[in-house]
Amino acid sequence: MAATLRYRPLNLARWVIWGTTALIMAVLPIFFTQGFAITLMSQMGVAIIFTLSYNMLLGQSGMLSFGHAVYSGLGAYFAVHALNMASKGQLWVPVSLLPLVGGLAGAVFGVLFGYVTTKRAGTTFAMITLGIGELVFSCSLMFPDFFGGEGGVTTNRVFGKPFLGVTFGPAVQVYYLIAFWCLVSMALMYAWAHTPLGRMANAVRDNPERAEFVGYDTQKVRWYTLIISAFFAGIAGALGVINFEIVTAENVSAVRSGGVLLAAFIGGVGFFFGPIIGACVFVYFVVALSDHTKAWLLYLGMFFMLMVMFAPGGIASLIMMQVQLVARQRFGRIWRHYLAAGASSLLVLAAVILTVEMTYKVSVDSSGGTLMKLFGVEFDAAAAGPWAVAIGLWIVGGWLFNVTRKRVSQVYGEIQAEFQQGRP
């Protein structure tokens, strides 16, 4: 038995990237000390794990799931009951290891439901996951003892004696706990993508028939992937419990499942770092935008539709396209056109916001008068003037955007043609 020759040079770039990520996560709370920023970052951490676990299915195995919240939600429920039992002294679980409880619960349900759902791929898989999601959500109202009914299950993350002075009372300590688990999960999921199972998942996604001919059972590959994905989803669910100290039926609902799909897709399912971007953007949309406008979900939906129609690779693919241009020194030729298109798209955005907010004011929120304030300008939403402005913005912005957009795609096409011809 000859030993296999291995050639593994030190992958410096990888160490630099992961090290920088860890460093950024560690120092962020030093710069952003407000309570709002800390909560935002904690939520982003949880969302990153959840979205990455979702992308194990959608991006890496080609399984479009409409019920991923089932695993994170059930993980969260088991975690919250474990935490409550631990604070009564019936069970020994330190708070810092609670995510493992959630992860294991998620994985167990992954074994159970995954066996059913992964029997088929494609559209049928999507339908079954939808069915399972609705099934679990309906069950949550049937068993109030476990799911806590309408009010949900509450808990308290601070109990027992502090360990090395850490009580998990202050939000910063929770942030660091989440950051730690987030980093570990990210590394593990990245590593998973390079295991034989991860590679087979890619093969099953791209061509299930061939994968089967090579001798792999495609259902098993999908099933194992789903179990691992459910494990990480459960970790995210348990971290959510520690962060919010409450679990409601909303955690297993279709709204949550839809949200993670939106986040993963907006970020870009084709690259490992896509869902990380998507999770951050999504949480920012949810937390920051919902303070400013009632119609935030509408804006998010529009953004999602634009991505589906014009950039199905998500933000990540847009970034990678620019990286290619920069690396081959063509960015200087195109950035002016980007700027022009960006400026005109701002006009369209202003038109959209003006229309939506004025409609909302007039039709729903008119009990306190139709005066409203937008971008620091106060005006009457029922008057004709602002509507004329909106229509003008639509026409001018739409026309300018169309012109500049065509220019961008023309220049981009020229550059790509040069690449095709093999010029450096």
Query: Where on the chain is the footprint of other proteins (CB under 8 A)?
Result: 62, 64, 66, 116, 119-120, 122-124, 126-128, 130-132, 134-135, 138-139, 141-146, 254, 258, 261-262, 265, 294-295, 297-298, 300-302, 304-305, 308-310, 312, 356, 359-360, 363-364
Please tell me whether residue 89 adopts helix, strand or coil conformation. Answer: coil
Nearer to other proteins, 31 or 310 (CB): 310
- Separation of alpha carbons 412 and 330, rounded Å: 9
Non-local (6+) Cβ contacts of 137 within 8 A are 249, 252, 253, 254
Nearer to other proteins, 187 or 305 (CB): 305
Nearer to other proteins, 141 or 288 (CB): 141
In the bound complex, what is the minimum distance in angstroms from residue 144's beta carbon to other proteins? 8
In the bound complex, what is the minimum distance in angstroms from residue 290's beta carbon to other proteins? 12
In the bound complex, what is the minimum distance in angstroms from residue 223's beta carbon to other proteins? 14
In the bound complex, what is the minimum distance in angstroms from residue 331's beta carbon to other proteins? 27
Nearer to other proteins, 45 or 275 (CB): 275
Nearer to other proteins, 297 or 320 (CB): 297
Spell out the alpha helix ranges (H) of 88-217.
98-117, 122-142, 144-147, 171-193, 196-206, 208-214
Nearer to other proteins, 137 or 168 (CB): 137
In the bound complex, what is the minimum distance in angstroms from residue 297's beta carbon to other proteins? 5
Decide: residue 27, CB within 10 A, 0-12 exposed, 13-18 middle, 19+ buried. Answer: exposed
Q: How do strand 371-374 and strand 377-380 relate by DSSP bridges?
A: antiparallel
- Separation of alpha carbons 154 and 132, rounded Å: 25
| Plot region of 4 (φ>0 → left; ψ -120 to 50 → alpha; else → beta) | beta
Tokens of 339: 């700027």
In the bound complex, what is the minimum distance in angstroms from residue 294's beta carbon to other proteins? 8
Handedness of CA 316, 321, 322, 324 (dihedral sign): positive
